[in-house]
Amino acid sequence: MAYPDIRPRRLRRSAAMRRLVEETRVAPAELVLPLFVKEGLTDPRPISSLPGVVQHSRESLRKAAHEAVRAGVGGLMLFGVPTSEHKDETGSGGIDPDGILNVAIRDVIAEVGDSTVVMGDLCLDEFTSHGHCGVLAADGTVDNDATLALYARMGVAQAEAGAHVVGPSGMMDGQVGVIRRALDQAGHSDVAVLAYAAKYAGAFYGPFREAVESTLQGDRRTYQQSPGNIREALREVDLDVAEGADMVMVKPALPYLDVVAAVRERVDVPVAAYQVSGEYAMVEAAAANGWLDRQGVMLETLTSIKRAGAQIILTYWATEAAQLLRDRY
């Protein structure tokens, strides 16, 4: 049939019609809110490069968790920020039951219980004095297998604190399998593993490093992926699923939507994507200058990540976006 018989605009003529035929929708329950908790704080501390995001005190963390649950957010990913005196060469604060991350997990579980999914970031970088995601060998490189032994202990510590999900993000070879076995042997077979399966050594993490007070010396290119590689990402995903990952994640999200789509086609486990600090900060900075419609871009970026194939989206906008989405639909 030829013009004017075919008129696709009929399905765009009103807001009600557009809602009816919309192909991709983000649900609040698909959003996960990353939260930072700083040891020793009595009040939340703003993070200059992440407008609207703070380092929480234990008290403000509980309030933020409760607010997210009210908004319908599907999960919370917790990051602990220890004081400098509690950082060391091996990141022992991440394993200590009284370390800030494990204390925070217990606090949030006590506050919200099973009303949302409580996740712990399973990595040593916030806890090491050198800022790397594992322990260092004599030559200064990250010792993969020595790090795995600590990851196993860290996973069990988070499970014993009450975490529903652990999120190994260090990109060590074999990390998922080691953590899965340790959890099962310790009686935590019901704790899920969200594998940061394709985590790229990109340039979008700067604000996050302020948030966790990173002491990184050098870079992470020997263990995180090169931004140009997608076949390597699929290999990493295959390995993590074979080792027992319950969910897999691509990080960052927007610069790697093609990777998200390829992973979605590859696996039958839920796929997550992390809209990282640099993605968030760019939008916030542009909106503050009047260059973008902040809420419009927020929802558009989340929709694009969902459309690419992510079932779960980690985003610093999670609570606000959940509220907007509930009003929208």
- The one catalytic residue among 38, 63, 87, 199: 199
Instruction: Identify the CA nearest to 166 among candidates 54, 254, 249.
Output: 249
Interval 92-109 mean pLDDT: 97
279 is in an annotated binding site: no
Least confident interval from 125-134, 153-162, 232-241, 288-297 = 125-134
Interval 253-264 mean pLDDT: 98
192-199 and 75-81 beta bridge pairing: unpaired
Q: Which residues share a beta bridge with 166?
A: 120, 193
Q: Kindly list the domain boundaries of the chain, sorted by start residue.
A: 15-327
CATH assignment of 15-327, among 3.30.230.80, 3.20.20.70, 3.40.50.1000, 3.40.50.620: 3.20.20.70
72 φ/ψ sector (left φ>0, alpha ψ -120 to 50, else beta):
left
Confirm whether 251 is a catalytic residue: yes
CA distance 139 to 136: 8
9-29 pLDDT tens trace: 999 999 999 999 999 999 999
Q: Is the pLDDT of residue 200 over 70?
A: yes
Helices (H), 89-217: 100-112, 144-161, 175-185, 206-211
Q: What is the pLDDT of residue 256?
A: 98
Q: What is the pLDDT of residue 2?
A: 66
Instruction: Identify the CA nearest to 34 among candidates 179, 262, 183, 207.
Output: 207
Torsion angle of the four alpha carbons 118, 123, 128, 131, in this order, in degrees rounded to the nearest 10: -110
pTM of the full structure: 0.96
169-192 pLDDT tens trace: 999 999 999 999 999 999 999 999
151 is in an annotated binding site: no
Q: Is the pLDDT of residue 78 over 80?
A: yes
Interval 143-171 mean pLDDT: 97
236 is in an annotated binding site: yes
204-230 pLDDT tens trace: 998 988 999 988 877 888 889 999 999
The secondary structure of 86-111 as a DSSP string is G-BTT-GGGT-TTSHHHHHHHHHHHH
CA distance 217 to 256: 26
Q: Is the pLDDT of residue 3 over 80?
A: no
104-130 pLDDT tens trace: 999 999 999 999 999 999 999 999 999
Dihedral (CA of 43, 47, 53, 58) sign = negative
Q: Is the pLDDT of residue 51 over 80?
A: yes
Q: What is the pLDDT of residue 292?
A: 97
To the nearest whole number, what is the mean pLDDT of the chain? 96
Interval 148-175 mean pLDDT: 97
* Residue 310 DSSP label: -
Residues sharing a CB contact under 8 Å with residue 69, sequence separation 6 or more, in sequence order? 112, 115, 116
Q: What is the pLDDT of residue 218?
A: 75
Q: Is the pLDDT of residue 4 over 80?
A: no
The secondary structure of 257-291 as a DSSP string is HHHHHHHHHH-SS-EEEE--HHHHHHHHHHHHTTS
Q: Side chain identity at 8, as an amino acid letter? A: P
Which of the two residues, 82 and 218, has the higher pLDDT score?
A: 82
209 is in an annotated binding site: yes
Q: If pLDDT is split at 50, 70 and 90, which confidence band does 313 have?
A: very high
3 is in an annotated binding site: no
